[in-house]
Every structure is written in structure tokens, then in C-alpha cells.
Structure 1
Amino acid sequence: MELRPLVMCFALCVVYATSKPTEKKERVHLDEPLSNIDHDDVENFDYDHEAFLGQEEAKTFDQLTPEESKERLGSSKVHLSMLVERIDEDKDGFVTVEEMKNWIKHAQKRWIYDDVDRQWKSHDLNGDEAVSWEEYKNATYGYILDDPDPDDGFSYRQMMDRDERRFKMADQDNDMKANKEEFTAFLHPEEYDHMKDIVVLETMEDIDKNGDGFIDLDEYIGDMYNQEGDSTEPEWVKTEREQFTEFRDKNKDGKMDKEETRDWILPNDYDHADAEAKHLVYESDADKDGLLTKAEIVDKYDLFVGSQATDFGEALTRHDEF
């Protein structure tokens, strides 16, 4: 039995970690939570750490005792100044909910820019500060194009065709060359409004196994759960069946069309960063004035960074382009 729990919603295939395509690309989570860890402040603050620092950044920090962590964060004026400077956008000495939300979004996007920077270097082959479709195609699929009969060549050519379609949508000036912003939109379409149509289209293509242009209940469930070899069905799968019938399939025709799929993978009714920002401010705001001071942040060091403060200063100084 293969079981993949649903983490919010799944959408399209994408981000390429190497120069060669893989058999099965991971999908981008368009409305994913700020951390895959359960948000349970009774047990620990791991969710808050990843939300505040970014999931990838939090994983790289050395483990310190609470005393070492508090000393590192609390005694260093450099760390505190950077904290206020980067998060306190209007430079009034206080951090508001809005400023905290913006910082959280910044922290969560840091890995995207790292990924783009890494791939930019490997795909801008002629060093002209642009990645053309030919450069990307040759760097990613060149070995397939040179082989008249590569293993699973048909699948790779399908992937290449999809990449070209997405590249053209990201290429807003239609010159078949991507500048840094266009390349970012190509690699991470979930971050750009003008790329949302391709996100929906690729999601439907991935899940619509019978090719009728819709996602029916069996396809919806089959994308999350394979019941082969197991006569019982987990409760979460039963709940997803109910979700499909009651909420996903709005016109009750037994399947999701393009607009219903868009509503599923691009919900507009919940902002994870806003919710986490309100949580952090509420939990840290000792005088309940709706604002956070340096002292309040340091006093709640365990909520923000806990024992993972080793490279906190470095985390705050990276990526000036944000």
C-alpha cells in the first residue's frame, strides 16, 4: 500500500534540482503551510522556528542549549540591530504584525532565490546574463536530444514540451530568453500571478489520467492514495472523498473543471504568513500594545529561534535583493 498524506493541496510538477530531468518531478505546494511540522506550541516551537527563519535555514543551524541560544541572540547588538533593521520596515523601533508577516514571507522565499541562483549559473552557458530556451534545453535535455533512442525518451520529450510551454509563458517579452525574473517565474510559477494558468493546467494534466480534461473523484483520490493490496481505507481518505463531493465539485457534476481545480489549488481564504505573524506577536507582546520591541523578541527567544541561533546573524544578512 502506498500512502501519501495530503499536505494542503498538491499542484503541478517542478523545481529541477539537477541539470537532468528525473522520472517523476515533485510538485510545488501552492498553499503549503510554513512548515511540515505540526503547529503544537505545547510540545515545541519547531513550526514557529521554521516559519520565522525559513525551513531550509532552520535546518542548517547548530544545536545550542537554551542558555547559549539566549546569550547569542540577546547579548549581540549586531544580531538585535539586524533583527530590527530587517523586520522593522519603517524604522520606528517596533515590529508590527504586518512587518512580521512580510519577514516570514521573506524567510520562506529565501530558498527559492537560492535555487534560482544555483540554476542560473548552470544554465547561462554563454554568460550573457540571460538564459535562452536553447541554453536551458541543451543543458537539461541535451543528452536525450543527442541519443536517437534514449531510455524513456518519450516521457522526457513530453517533459521538454511542457517546459517549453511554461518557458514561453514566463518569457514576457517573447524573445525566448529569460532574464533573472523570468527565469524565476519559469522555475517557480507558483510565485507569479501571470503563471497561475500554467500551474492549473499542469496540475490537471498530472491528475487527469483518462485525458478528458477534468478531474473526477477516482483521479482526485488516486493522486493521493493507492489502495492496492489493502481492503481498508484510512479515515483521511474518506474525509477527502467528502471534501471532493461537498466542496471541490461545486457544480455537482462529479468532476472538477479548470475553475474548480483553480479554487482547489489556489485558495484565497487563508494566509499562513498572516496567521503565524499574529501568533508570534500575540505570544511575545508582553505589554499587549500590538507591537514588539527588541526586549520582547529576545525574551521570547525560544519561540523565534529556540536553540537554533548559531547562524542567526547570517540568516538576517543574506539576500539583500529581498
Structure 2
Amino acid sequence: MIRSVVICWLLFIVTSRGKPTEKKSRVLQEEPLSQLQHDDNKNFDYDHEAFLGQDEAKTFEHLSPDESKRRLRIIVDRIDDNKDGFVSEEELELWIRNVQNRHMYENVEHQWHEFDLNNDGLISWEEYRNVTYGSYLEGPLTEREYNYTNMMSRDERRFKVADSNGDMNADKPEFMAFLHPENHEHMKEVVVQETMEDIDKNGDGFIDLKEYIGDMFTAENGVEEPEWVATERQQFYEFRDKNKDGKMDREETLDWILPADYDHAVAEAKHLLYESDTNKDGKLTKEEILDKFDLFVGSQVTNYGEVLMRHDEF
């Protein structure tokens, strides 16, 4: 039976062909730390969601300050990764990034037991292939069946890149890189390669203007070209094609689909440190964080707070 990963891929193909006037985008943007406006003069709600997580933050709105502080003490110990008694800017950034990426961890956990058939704590390529493409591998295709050969080859190539030690067995970090390659530096090249294979119709190793527009919009008889198409043409000439040779190479494609934008996790870590570092030594003690507990958590819990509760550690 073809599993959810393949089904999602097919749904992407189908939805990408939706209404001819709808704009499709391949740009992989970083998820926001919070949808709220960041204005400390009004409240610390943005900081709470950035530090705690958007979904579970509201759980602790009715906690007393003492209870919030008690739980924050436990969280600070978790953030202090090297156990030196201080929270550095780097440790804060890592914490915020982990909270931001929690959905990826949950996705890995959700799929793990489906693929780890022998329960050895690893997912081999054979296990992934058999679960995902099992029915396809069992017999010849009928005329109406989709040919998954190309998809399976692409999956195997991506699996090999995610497999850091080359043993064709993925642990959880490697499986996360496989499922979410856009969030891992060493996976960016394979994301670019997959994108170019989808768009580069003439196979010359570049994406020209026709291919670029054609990936987002397909002209149909009687359908007027929407205004955004002209804007995208201008974007191609002014920003996508940086060397002005009329096409995008791999580096230009990388800049397009994975833009190096403002890093919200870094900015928020710097902000929290600046606002809480009373003695201005560039790091935070537990006392400094607790003194500013309303900035970090107020009366709300963190994502990790909920996790800790599930493990009876509070």
C-alpha cells in the first residue's frame, strides 16, 4: 500500500494544477515564531509564544506566577545544555529553534513506528521502501497505475544524503533530515536538484523564464493572464537571474527557493538576552531569567512544559 508520504506528494502535484489563475510557490519560508505583533510596550505575548510555542502557550494563562516560576526553573535547566549554570545566547537560540521546529519532531515520532518494522531504533532504506512502495514492488503495473519508479529513485537519493554515516539506516535526526530537507544545511543541494528536475523541462541544467513561469502558471484558452504573472516575470529578470544570463543556475535556484532571510530565532535570542542580562556579562543566570519571568513565560507554559508534564517531571 502506498503510504502517506507518497499520497502527500501526489496531492501536491494535483493541487499545483488547480485553478489556472492561482499562484503556486516553491519558496520554502521559515515558519514565524508567532503570528502576533512584537511590541514589548504593549505586552510580551510575542516573546511568550516565541519562547514557549504557539500551540501550548495558552495552556498556562491561568497559572499563578509562583507556579510559572517553578516550571520555568525546570525549563532553564533544560536550556543550559552544557550545565555550566548559565544560559548563553547560543543555548537560547537552540531552544527557540527547537520549539519552532517541534512540528518536525512530532512528524518523525508519528511516522517512526510505521517504518521501523523490526523495532531496532533505526529505519533502513529497505524498510522505508517496502512500507512506502510495497504494493508497487509486488507486481507489474496496470495501465492505470502511476509509475512510482522515479519517485522511489528520488527518495533513495534523498535518503542517502540524509544518511550521514552512510550505513543506509536512518536514526531519528537523519530521518528528520529526510522528511524535512529544507531545514538542514547538508540537504539543501538535494532540494535544489529535485526542484530543477521538476521545472527544467528541456534538461539543460538551468531554469529559463518560460520554465519558471510555466511551473506557476499554465495559459489556457480563454483565460486571461493574471497580473501577478507579469510581476513574476519582472522578479525573474531583476532578482532571480542574478548574473543576467537569462536563466537560473543551481545557486540562483537555491537563493530563490531557500532565501537567506532574517533569522527570527537569532533575533529573539538576542532580544531576550539583552532584556534580561542585568550585569551585561553576555549570559544569563537562572536568577536573571526568573527576575524577568514575565518576559519569558508570564503565566503560560512552554511546549517543553507540556512534554515534561507528560513525563511526570513537574
Q: Bin the TM-score by the shorter chain.
A: 0.7 to 0.9
Looking at structure 2, the residues matched to 183 and 257 of structure 1 have their Cα atoms a distance apart, in angstroms, of 29
1:298 corresponds in structure 2 to 293
Q: Over alpha carbons, which structure has the higher Rg? A: 2
- Counterpart in the other structure of 1:141: 133
Question: C-alpha separation between the residues in 2 aligned to 1:130 and 1:187?
Answer: 15
Displacement after TM superposition at 1:150 (Å): 5.5
Residue by residue over 1:115-163, the C-alpha shift from the partner in whole angstroms, topping out at 9 and shown as x without a partner, is 2233221111122333222211111111233353358644533221211
> 1:24 aligned to 2:11?
yes
Structure 2 counterpart of 1:233, which letter? Answer: E
Deviation at 1:249?
1.0
Counterpart check, 1:81 vs 2:79: no
Q: Which amino acid aligns with 2:292?
A: I
Query: What corresponds to 1:201 in structure 2?
Result: 193
Aligned to 1:165: 157
Matched to 2:191, the amino acid is V
1:121 has 2:113 as partner:
yes
Structure 2 residue 104 is matched with structure 1 residue 108:
no
User: How far did residue 250 of structure 1 move?
Assistant: 1.7
1:178 aligns with 2:165: no
The structure-2 alpha-carbon separation of the partners of 1:50 and 1:205, relative to structure 1 and needing over 3 Å to count, comes to farther
Specify whether residues 298 and 223 from structure 1 end up closer, same or farther in structure 2 by C-alpha distance, changes over 3 A only.
farther
- Deviation of the 1:316 alpha carbon: 6.0
Q: What is the CA-CA distance between 1:285 and the residue it aligns to?
A: 3.8
Decide whether the 8 Å contact of 1:82 with 1:317 is kept in 2: no
Q: Which residue of 2 aligns with 1:12?
A: none
Question: Size of the alignment, in residue pairs?
Answer: 291
1:59 to 52, 55, 74: 55
TM-score when scaled to structure 1?
0.71
Judged with a 3 Å threshold, the aligned counterparts in structure 2 of structure 1 residues 223 and 273 are, in CA distance, closer, same or farther, namely farther
Q: Is structure 2 residue 227 aligned with structure 1 residue 233?
A: yes
Residue aligned with 1:158, SS: helix
1:126 partner SS: coil
Q: Tell me the alpha carbon deviations over residues 234-262 of structure 1, each in whole angstroms, 9 at most, x when there is no partner.
A: 4xx65554443223212211111112212
Q: Which moved more, 1:134-143 or 1:124-133?
A: 124-133
Q: 1:84 to 1:249 in 2, by over 3 A?
A: same
The 5-angstrom pairing of residues 241-280 of structure 1 reads 241-268=233-260, 270-280=262-272
Distance change (3 Å), C-alpha of 1:37 and 1:44: farther
Per the TM alignment, residue 306 of structure 1 is displaced from its structure 2 partner at its CA by 6.4
Farther-moved stretch of structure 1 (127-136 vs 224-233): 224-233
Distance in 2 separating the partners of 1:88 and 1:239? 47
Q: CA deviation at 1:272?
A: 2.7
Question: CA 1:315–1:305 in structure 2 vs 1: closer, same or farther (change >3 Å)?
Answer: farther
| Conservation of the 8 A alpha-carbon contact between 2:209 and 2:246 | yes
Give the letter for the 1:37 counterpart.
Answer: Q
Seen in structure 2, the aligned counterparts of structure 1 residues 242 and 160 have a Cα distance that, compared at 3 Å, is same
Q: What letter corresponds to residue 260 of structure 1 in structure 2?
A: E
Instruction: Provide closer, same or farther for how the CA distance between residues 44 and 138 of structure 1 changes in structure 2, counting only shifts above 3 A.
Output: farther
Deviation at 1:46, TM superposition (A): 6.3
The alignment's C-alpha RMSD in Å is 4.0
Structure 1 gap ranges (5+): 1-15
SS at match of 1:59: coil
- Stretches of structure 2 that go unaligned for 5 or more consecutive residues are 14-24
